[in-house]
């Protein structure tokens, strides 16, 4: 059982009143934390990874002692390559046991920087330059993935990188696949000057005892980029203290050393690293990572419940988009070991919540966190306490949440009352005030009253102290000066039985500036039409101005690697659709060839002529919209 009961806001207060955070005398560094866990749980299973998703496929399980030794070898290796406490080890990897070696070893020797391998090479290169990475750990060429190619291309854009260490996933495969891979492996020819080594061979040359002194002091230990599927990502700084805080919360409030957690989320994201793995590390529990791509891996959803049975899983870590996919498949295994499913990354529609609990009989708990606060902020009670569907629960111990209205500089204009919507602002041990981002220009105006991190999320706190997210400040639909919260539209359409997921945005409008529209992904086999959904929306959305003027059905909504609906792609589609419709109606021989992002102008429509063009007419037609346009070169 977890150390503390966490069923009501009063339980949180009891934890805080017992001791201050500073008085808890937790390990200061990751090395201290890892050493403590090894001393208490050394022979117990720590992590299991299987490259394929089948319930009987080969898996590699490491004990805490084995994980400790590999991580110390990695730290020694990085230090031998010139990585000091202020230097950066980046990894561009899918999930695997080696990813954890790089994570732990990098944070012990210096600063670790996990990078999304789904990014384009120029974006990865920009992060490598921004962080000044000296060492990169990535894949060796492997079938069905271009990670190795992109990583080496990115290193060529970052002359600060001096060493590249390659991980060969072939060792996880069995006969005959492991004989075939070397024959079909893509050959990657580096165009950079960094030294390339085999990661495992380099590790084997290192001792399993730390060969340098751990400082025992708090410092920046990780860089995590935010966003990054369009434009250049921001890089957030995480200190040991914030990482340890997240681990402490999970190990003391959520689960203990007897639990097994299945985590098909990527190890470049704070949810998997800080919320899940650091809690597993602190508790001495066992975590399972199925396939390098997690939920995106081949067969993971089809085999998911069988994997729960195989590993005797007690905790499922998930996101709303994954829950929607699970609900399109039968629960075809013994899942009696399950206690709780923990959902984060995006608000969970009420209908999806109900479907999951009805199908599995398992408690589904929503939580809230963000990269900028190292992660965790709040969650719904796990035990017998009231779970408010749609809420992200009660702030964790030592986390203070206020709903504020601020000006651009962070000056507080108003503290909102009960159920009044404003910006969610957070203060806790994970908030690095003044230095959240590596680029200091991005820290300006980021803190309310010089103490509370401004999350950019809109929300409210109800009379019982539960936090509700109502949307993103930047996602508000501005219809003729009237603010429309897209969450209202999304919640309504998600209640339709044929709907798996929804993304509501503002599309350009010549009169109102923006009007609401929605894109929908249907459940498998559903037959609802846009007209059906529009009629349904009219009956469920009470604010007339919020009823979408367009509903589009897509085979799959664009999503980030952790399952959030990726709205910039929807906005691109909406801009192209609206502008092309206006050009066609005006008889103009031009179309929107692409929609690109400009740092100064935001999304810009780029036009291409399809015949003789009256450029003044184009200016007249598209000049009625607020979103800019330009011509292709």
> Scanning the structure block, which residue is given the tokens 């009256």?
614
Report pLDDT for 141: 96
Check pLDDT > 60 for residue 530: yes
Tens of pLDDT along 132-154?
999 999 999 999 999 999 999 99
Report pLDDT for 451: 93
Structure confidence at residue 229 as a pLDDT band (50, 70, 90): very low
Check pLDDT > 50 for residue 602: yes
For residues 468-482, give the mean pLDDT: 74
Q: What's the rounded Cα separation, in Å, for the pair 133 and 216?
A: 23
Q: What's the rounded Cα separation, in Å, for the pair 294 and 304?
A: 11
Is residue 111 within 8 Å of residue 223, measured between CB atoms? yes
Report pLDDT for 482: 61
Check pLDDT > 60 for residue 231: no
Nearest to 282 by CA among 315, 313, 253: 253
Q: What is the mean pLDDT of the chain?
A: 92
- DSSP state for residue 250 in the 8-state scheme: I
CATH code assigned to 399-472: 2.30.38.10
More confident residue, 384 or 343: 343
Is residue 604 within 8 Å of residue 596, measured between CB atoms? yes
Nearest to 26 by CA among 246, 261, 271, 286: 246
Q: What's the rounded Cα separation, in Å, for the pair 519 and 505?
A: 8
Structure confidence at residue 599 as a pLDDT band (50, 70, 90): low
Is residue 482 within 8 Å of residue 545, measured between CB atoms? yes
Is residue 343 within 8 Å of residue 363, measured between CB atoms? no
Across 306-320, 375-389, 461-475, the highest mean pLDDT is recorded for 306-320
- Looking at the chain, the whole-number percentage of residues with pLDDT higher than 90 is 75
* 25 torsion bin: left (phi>0), alpha (psi -120 to 50), beta (else): left
Q: In what order do the strands lie in the sheet with 363-369?
A: 60-63, 45-50, 286-290, 260-262, 315-318, 340-343, 363-369, 376-379, 394-395
Nearest to 135 by CA among 164, 105, 113: 164
For residues 235-256, give the mean pLDDT: 95
Judge residue 378's burial from the number of C-beta atoms within 10 Å of its C-beta, 0-12 exposed, 13-18 middle, 19 or more buried.
buried
Report pLDDT for 600: 55
Least confident of 124-128, 435-439, 594-598: 594-598
Structure confidence at residue 230 as a pLDDT band (50, 70, 90): very low
Judge residue 18's burial from the number of C-beta atoms within 10 Å of its C-beta, 0-12 exposed, 13-18 middle, 19 or more buried.
exposed
| Distance set, CA 85 to CA 33, 82, 110, 130, 217 (Å) | 17, 10, 4, 17, 11
When the candidates are 3.90.1150.10, 3.40.50.12780, 1.10.357.10, 1.10.8.60, the CATH number that belongs to 9-398 is 3.40.50.12780
Tens of pLDDT along 611-624?
999 999 998 899 87
Nearest to 347 by CA among 551, 484, 497, 501: 501
For residues 26-38, give the mean pLDDT: 98
When the candidates are 3.40.1710.10, 3.30.300.30, 3.40.190.10, 1.10.3080.10, the CATH number that belongs to 476-562 is 3.30.300.30
Report pLDDT for 520: 98
610-614 contacts: CB < 8 A, separation 24 or more? 613/588, 613/589, 614/588
Least confident of 37-51, 304-318, 617-631: 617-631
Structure confidence at residue 512 as a pLDDT band (50, 70, 90): confident
Check pLDDT > 90 for residue 480: no
Q: What's the rounded Cα separation, in Å, for the pair 109 and 328?
A: 44
Least confident of 5-19, 298-312, 339-353, 583-597: 339-353
For residues 350-371, give the mean pLDDT: 86
> Dihedrals φ, ψ of 155, to 5°?
-60, -35
Structure confidence at residue 408 as a pLDDT band (50, 70, 90): confident
Q: Return the H-helix or E-strand segment holding 154.
A: helix 147-156
Q: In what order do the strands lie in the sheet with 602-609?
A: 590-598, 602-609, 629-631
Least confident of 113-117, 347-351, 424-428: 347-351
Report pLDDT for 554: 97
Any alpha helices (H) in 466-612, and if so which ranges? 486-494, 530-540, 567-585
More confident residue, 147 or 387: 147
Structure confidence at residue 228 as a pLDDT band (50, 70, 90): very low
Q: What's the rounded Cα separation, in Å, for the pair 584 and 508?
A: 16
Q: What's the rounded Cα separation, in Å, for the pair 67 and 484?
A: 50
Report pLDDT for 477: 85
Q: Which residues pair with 366 in a beta bridge?
A: 343
């Amino acid at each position: 059982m977890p150390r503390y009961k966490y069923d009501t806001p009063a339980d949180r207060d009891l934890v805080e009143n017992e001791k201050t955070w500073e008085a808890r005398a937790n390990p200061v560094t990751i090395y201290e934390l890892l050493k403590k866990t090894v001393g208490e749980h050394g022979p117990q299973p720590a992590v299991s990874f299987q490259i394929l998703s089948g319930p009987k496929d080969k898996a590699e399980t490491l004990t805490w002692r084995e994980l400790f030794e590999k991580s110390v070898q990695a730290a020694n290796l990085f230090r031998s390559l010139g990585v000091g406490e202020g230097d950066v080890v980046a990894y561009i990897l899918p999930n695997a046991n080696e990813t954890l070696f790089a994570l732990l070893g990098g944070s012990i020797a210096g600063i670790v920087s996990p990078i999304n391998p789904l990014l384009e090479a120029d974006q990865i290169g920009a992060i490598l330059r921004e962080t000044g990475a000296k060492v990169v750990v990535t894949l060796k060429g492997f079938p069905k993935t271009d990670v190795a190619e992109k990583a080496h291309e990115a290193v060529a854009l970052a002359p600060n990188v001096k060493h590249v260490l390659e991980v060969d996933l072939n060792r996880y495969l069995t006969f005959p696949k492991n004989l075939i891979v070397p024959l079909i492996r893509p050959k990657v020819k580096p165009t950079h000057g960094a030294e390339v080594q085999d990661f495992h061979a380099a590790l084997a040359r290192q001792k399993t005892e730390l060969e340098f002194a751990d400082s025992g002091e708090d410092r920046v230990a990780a860089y995590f980029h935010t966003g990054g599927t369009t434009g250049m990502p921001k890089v957030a700084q995480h200190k040991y203290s914030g990482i340890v805080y997240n681990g402490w919360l999970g190990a003391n409030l959520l689960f203990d050393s007897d639990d097994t957690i299945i985590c098909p989320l990527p190890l470049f994201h704070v949810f998997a690293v800080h919320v899940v793995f650091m809690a597993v590390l602190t508790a001495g529990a066992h975590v399972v990572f199925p396939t390098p791509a997690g939920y995106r891996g081949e067969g993971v959803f089809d085999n998911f419940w069988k994997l729960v049975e195989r590993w005797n899983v007690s905790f499922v870590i998930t996101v709303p988009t994954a829950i929607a996919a699970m609900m399109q498949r039968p629960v075809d295994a013994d899942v009696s070991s399950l206690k709780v499913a923990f959902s984060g990354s995006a608000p969970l529609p009420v209908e999806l919540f109900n479907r999951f609990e009805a199908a599995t009989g398992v408690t589904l708990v929503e939580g809230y966190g963000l990269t900028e606060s190292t992660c965790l902020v709040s969650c719904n009670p796990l035990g017998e306490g009231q779970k408010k569907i749609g809420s992200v629960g009660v702030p964790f111990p030592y986390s203070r949440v206020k709903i504020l209205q601020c000006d651009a500089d962070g000056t507080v204009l108003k503290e909102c009352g009960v159920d009044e919507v404003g910006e969610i602002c957070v203060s806790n041990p994970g908030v690095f005030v003044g230095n959240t981002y590596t680029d200091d220009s991005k820290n300006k105006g980021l803190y309310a009253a010089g103490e509370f991190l401004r999350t950019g999320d809109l929300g409210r706190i109800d009379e019982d102290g539960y936090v509700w997210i109502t949307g993103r400040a930047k996602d508000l639909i501005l219809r003729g000066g009237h603010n429309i919260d897209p969450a209202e539209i999304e919640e309504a359409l998600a209640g339709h039985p044929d709907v798996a997921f929804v993304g509501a945005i503002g599309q350009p409008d010549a009169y109102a500036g923006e009007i609401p529209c929605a894109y929908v992904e249907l459940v498998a086999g559903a037959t609802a039409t846009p007209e059906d959904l529009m009629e349904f929306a009219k009956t469920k959305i009470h604010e007339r101005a919020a009823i979408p003027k367009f509903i589009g059905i897509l085979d799959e909504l664009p999503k980030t690697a952790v399952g959030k609906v990726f709205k910039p792609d929807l906005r691109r589609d909406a801009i192209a659709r609206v502008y092309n419709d206006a050009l066609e109606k005006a008889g103009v021989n031009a179309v929107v060839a692409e929609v690109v992002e400009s740092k100064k102008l935001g999304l810009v429509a780029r036009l291409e002529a399809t015949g003789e063009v009256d450029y003044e007419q184009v200016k007249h037609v598209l000049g009625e919209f607020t979103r800019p346009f330009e011509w292709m070169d």
